[in-house]
């Protein structure tokens, strides 16, 4: 069964937005560095795949935190710099 590339239910599961600025910037970066050449896959499809991987990873981290009884509030707010004890 092939994935739905038309923005249907499959896209909603993994995507952060089919036309998000991040995804467009990522596609441009992949294209600029010719990273689509190795798989002969269009840069916008690679950007969509990688964005989906990131979204799934973020969801998995939240599930892990719930599993360990941490609700995620220990994460610093977006954009906040955290000093590391090792330097």
| Interval 8-65: pLDDT, tens | 444 444 445 556 899 999 999 999 999 999 999 999 999 999 999 999 999 999 999 9
State whether the Cα torsion 30-35-37-38 is positive or negative. negative
| Interval 25-39: pLDDT, tens | 999 999 999 999 999
- 10 Å CB burial of residue 14 (0-12, 13-18, 19+) is middle
The Cβ of residue 40 has, within 10 Å, a number of other Cβ atoms equal to 6
**Reported confidence tier of residue 74, pLDDT bands at 50, 70, 90:** low
Token pair for 37: 């050449």
Q: For residue 6, is pLDDT > 70?
A: no
């Amino acid at each position: 069964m092939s994935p739905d590339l038309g923005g249907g239910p499959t896209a909603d599961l993994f995507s952060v937005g089919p036309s998000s600025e991040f995804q467009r910037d990522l596609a441009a970066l992949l294209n600029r560095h010719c990273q689509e050449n190795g798989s002969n896959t269009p840069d916008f499809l690679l950007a969509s795949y990688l964005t989906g991987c990131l979204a799934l990873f973020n969801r998995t981290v939240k599930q892990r935190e719930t599993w360990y009884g941490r609700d995620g509030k220990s994460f610093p707010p977006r954009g906040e710099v955290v000093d590391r004890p090792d330097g």
